[in-house]
Amino acid sequence: MNIRTIDWKNNSVRIIDQTKLPQKLVYIDIGRLEGLCRAIKILQVRGAPALGAAAALGVYLGIRNYPGSDWPGFSRKLKAVAKYIAGSRPTARNLFWGIERACAVALKNNKQPISKIKRIILAEGKKIMREDASSCRKIGFYGAKLLKHNSRVLTICNAGILATIDYGTALGVIYSACAQGKKIKVFSCETRPLLQGSRLSAWELNRQGVDITMIADNTAAHLMAEGKVDLVIAGADRIAANGDSANKIGTSNLAILCKYHKIPFYIAAPISTFDFSIKSGKGIKIEMRNSGEVTRILLKKEIAPPGANVLNPAFDVTANHLISAIITDKGIIRPPYIRNISKIFKGNKCV
Amino acid sequence: MNIRTIDWKNNSVRIIDQTKLPQKLVYIDIGRLEGLCRAIKILQVRGAPALGAAAALGVYLGIRNYPGSDWPGFSRKLKAVAKYIAGSRPTARNLFWGIERACAVALKNNKQPISKIKRIILAEGKKIMREDASSCRKIGFYGAKLLKHNSRVLTICNAGILATIDYGTALGVIYSACAQGKKIKVFSCETRPLLQGSRLSAWELNRQGVDITMIADNTAAHLMAEGKVDLVIAGADRIAANGDSANKIGTSNLAILCKYHKIPFYIAAPISTFDFSIKSGKGIKIEMRNSGEVTRILLKKEIAPPGANVLNPAFDVTANHLISAIITDKGIIRPPYIRNISKIFKGNKCV
């Protein structure tokens, strides 16, 4: 893959500004924590795994100019920074996981000089990026087994290169199958309101030479009824201990359509997406975003009457019984999920 | 209702240019058949029942300047005009029904002078408009019984004033319930690609003082899972003899979600929407529209990479077993549909 969604360059977090796609591929360097959190809020960088790396690097941006050399003061600053980043977006588990990883290495090394702790935090952010690149390839490796030659895959939102460091989760599975020589046809739901499916997934799949057809989100049921979809793969932003999975609004819709049409529905996500503190999807906090995303197209063209009421949840939760399997970097987890998810976290193989 | 979607004024067909809504309420007078067919194709006028009236008036526009006074020549012209109008949009049954009505009165009066036949055709167009206004109110009357005080109704596309002469089918049911003093909360799917839900339904419901909230199409499953939807009502463009109903793309999606969430799903349509020549939904021709509707927003703002493949069916078919009842101007038809639809056409009451 010749593009990298997030990187550490020029002492800054370098990201692709995803609000400019598909028209322009623009990289921006962000040196301040406030700028990074703004980029996360307005979705210049998005995608749960990418947010994990962004959050860890954000911790470094937040503490690198801490002037003191005392652990208690540094620790307070670290907590404030962590809280600030955590307030940017509530649903993606990986964002919190990235913050926790950065804070954990600091705490573990709290006897070291502050300057060294700072370097250790940066190193952890870089490590998360390396791990993400590797874990996406593992997800791709395991998931590709589920795709046959000539499989027709429907996906939603963007769980690709642009949602990770450089490979993708749901789309990583497709890239991996293609790399094995399988011919794969992809349908991408455009994914209103913010059109990540048409703007981002169609763009990167096309760039990678994958056969991609865009559809309005409304077309999914018709496509399935016509027998044109063999399987659905979506990413995830947070997975509860029982397998209930939060992902882009519209994902649970597809899972229900799959159930009705007897089509397999898969979630692809690294294990950093699992949240054991949450027993089921009911405990997952769903981010509500502003109405302008719906009343206007990409916050520009008005399409609704003035003052229209809008309900704009960014995510929905797909119930575990609708999920055929969860493709992770540790292997494929199948039902019963409560048992099999807990197994994988105890180090057992699951494939 | 103080707006009228289609009318006969100044020797022309007066329509609301629906491509200008919700920003501007613009009426245009169309005096030539070519202009009317263009208006139908680009959806300046749309909605199955409105298309029935537009088609009949279109027949008049097409033949009114026929210079001859011979029936055979006039009849050939009539057939050519009918064929031309029929080519504008393939799915709405009412369009063909409107053409057939106009042609049938001409044939029935073929002994009359051509000038008189022309007036009879115009009169038939006007009669269809009156009948539509009346049949929508009957649909509203029957359908309102299904809505309780505080019912929360989800709808898709626009089956309202703007899809009929002046009252609506699915939205007519809501207006009728509101007129009975029931408090109704409406959710309107924005209805990509052409956003009839946000542009048209949200506009007219708001104008009529109905509590309306817009959602992205993707949000429907989430809304149902949260217990916020009591029933779904949609219009129809063509209903097969077994009750399978073609309507705006995304409708079958909602019907499947309703089945899963155990929520009633209703179709509201005049009996002119039924097509007895078609046994089941498989026989319904689905109009494929141009990719620009998906790759661009309202044919303007580009949202997709250049040259993106697109599949853009304008309609889908909802299988009869997913439909709780069909609300018509002759009463409410419930399953088993093959028997009960055929009954209603034999003049039996069905409520």
Q: At A243, is the pLDDT very low, low, confident or very high (cuts 50, 70, 90)?
A: very high
pTM of full prediction above 0.90: yes
- Residue written as tokens 């309101």? A193
Residue B305 confidence (pLDDT) above 90: no
Q: Looking at residue A348, what is its pLDDT?
A: 53
Residues B13-58: tens digit of each pLDDT: 999 999 999 999 999 999 999 999 999 999 999 999 999 999 999 9
β-pair partners for A246 = A238, A317
Q: Count CB-CB contacts under 10 A for residue B130.
A: 11
Q: Tell me: pLDDT of B119 over 90.
A: yes
The radius of gyration of chain B's CA atoms, rounded to the nearest angstrom, is 20
The helix/strand/coil state of B167 is coil
Q: What percent of chain B stands above pLDDT 90?
A: 91
Dist. CA B178–CA B180, nearest whole Å: 5
Q: Please determine, for residue B349, whether its predicted confidence score (pLDDT) is greater than 70.
A: no
Contact B301 A301 (CB under 8 A): yes
Contact B212 A309 (CB under 8 A): yes
Q: Say which residue the tokens 């977090």 belong to.
A: A13
Smallest Cβ–Cβ distance between A304 and the set B22, B187, B218 belongs to: B22
Beta strand B238-240 with B231-234 is unpaired
B211 an active-site residue? Answer: no
Report the percent of chain A where pLDDT is more than 70: 98
Summarize pLDDT for B59-105 with one digit per residue, the tens: 999 999 999 999 999 999 999 999 999 999 989 899 999 999 999 99
pLDDT one-digit tens code per residue, A21-66: 999 999 999 999 999 999 999 999 999 999 999 999 999 999 999 9
The two structure tokens encoding residue B18:
């629906």
Confidence of residue A351 (pLDDT cuts 50, 70, 90): very low
pLDDT (0 to 100) of residue B301: 74
> Among residues of chain A, what percentage have pLDDT more than 90?
91
Model confidence pLDDT, tens digit, residues A84-117: 999 999 898 999 999 999 999 999 999 999 999 9
**Length of chain A in terms of residues written:** 351
Instruction: Residue B201: name the closest of B245, B229, B235, B249 by CA.
Output: B235
Separation between Cα atoms, residue B331 and residue B343, nearest integer Å = 12
Confidence band, pLDDT 50/70/90 cuts, at residue A344: confident
Tens digits of residue pLDDT in A75-91: 999 999 999 999 999 89
Residues facing residue B214 across a β-bridge: A310, B188
Q: How far is residue A293's CA from residue B302's CA, in Å, rounded to a whole number?
A: 16
pLDDT attached to residue A347 = 65
Q: Taking 90 as the threshold, does the pLDDT of residue A209 lie above it?
A: yes
> Which pLDDT band holds residue B306 (cuts at 50, 70, 90)?
confident
* pLDDT at B347 exceeding the cut of 70: no
What local confidence, expressed as pLDDT, does residue A43 receive?
95
Helices A48-63 and A71-86 meet at what angle, rounded to 10? Answer: 140
The pLDDT of residue A295 is above 60: yes
Residues 6 or more apart whose CB falls under 8 angstroms from that of B72 comprise none
Best residue in B187, B218, B295 for a mutation probing chain A (most A CBs within 10 Å): B218
* Neighbouring C-alpha atoms within 13 Å toward the C-beta of A34: 0
A219 touches chain B (CB under 8 A): yes
pLDDT tens column, B223-265: 999 999 999 999 999 999 999 999 999 999 999 999 999 999 9
Interchain contact, A192 vs B218, CB within 8 Å: yes
Residue A206 confidence (pLDDT): 94
Q: How far is A152 from chain B (nearest CA, A)?
A: 14
B322-348 mean pLDDT? 92
Whether the Cβ atoms of residue B264 and residue A268 lie closer than 8 Å to each other = no
Contact yes or no for A310 and B213 at CB 8 A: yes
The answer on pLDDT for A350 being more than 50 is: no
pLDDT, tens only, A23-32? 999 999 999 9
Decide: B92 and B70 in contact? Cβ < 8 Å: no
Query: Which of 97-136 (A) contact B at CB < 8 A?
Result: none
Q: What does pLDDT average to over chain A? A: 95
